[in-house]
Structure 1
């Protein structure tokens, strides 16, 4: 498939650099059909050209990428934000399940992002993701967006009892009994679900420390949902120290 692509970026040199990289890494699948550097220009271009893929800078000369998203009529496209924001903003992207690339853009990461699009069937822009991202950029995130094939689930962090990974999939077990499976490995969430609230006790398991019922020196954790999670040998010392500090 060839993706009709629009680049929304107000710095000429960055538009050119991204164009060149796209030609290098995905020249056979990407067709750039337009460039925009302002909010009104971007809105008109998206609605007129109806792209498959949009690369969008957050900070434009006369507004933000969010202003564009709130004004467009056509929203059936893949969206990749490009940003030079610091770590707080990067965490907001992760919590909101929005795809992004850090500036300066790395060619390999660009190719990975495009390859990821090829396995996604839906191209409908989820407004819930954007709403959560706007919220998460303005404060410390307290909710996580979990994308599945059926829907986008917005989950409060304290609702997450534990996570279990199998290959490239992770299942979230919630305090209300729900199970939500996402097509991402646990490592994608490990750097945002952090101690002291969360702890990765095993290669396959990450738990909410506040949902622990009991634990043993032999290395087993009993959770509030009556599940039993193993603690790997390499994590025992760190886990017991964390629990001691929490008491």
Structure 2
């Protein structure tokens, strides 16, 4: 019985399984190193052609690099953030994998492609990350190469596995950071805790969402969060408009 044709550029299931075992071994060897950082290092080692790697996180309308393999990766990311356009930002906002074969011929992102190509970057692979139980933040895994056409169909299986691990690591970091912010606020200001209780009762939300409401009001009114808390306690309402002088 003739066998089905197999695309030589696409890894077999055995290949992917072997890569997964290799990745698990690398992550275990990383010890106490944060998972996101370990994933970035593994991506460079395991994805053919990848020379630099970063992980971008979007919170509201702000983008930042949670992890970058070196200064060049940081600079490439920063060009995107300043231009407000680029393959990583598009991957995150569209939730699609974006592949660039030769940045010098790319026309989709004016203000980004030229300056980045001047740094020696030729190929880019940006994979959106689906964070666990977090609708407020999104992220993307970015691979950069100095080779033209470095990423193709054979890159997809390994980068998908890496993206899954990266999403888990980022979700853990974001959850930890928010918990630490909440704990610090409760320790330093009892009024914030009281205001959170008011909001939890009035809007049927949990403590983290109540704290987020206070932060949103603080940002939208340009007032300290402790002042917002005092007003919530007094009025039982959340001020969302800036006071006029």
Q: TM-score range by the shorter chain?
A: under 0.3
- Name whichever structure is richer in helix by fraction: 2
- Name whichever structure is richer in strand by fraction: 1
Compute the TM-score of the two structures, normalised by the length of structure 2. Answer: 0.24
Higher Cα Rg, which structure = 2
Higher RCO (CA 8 Å, separation ≥ 6 residues): 2
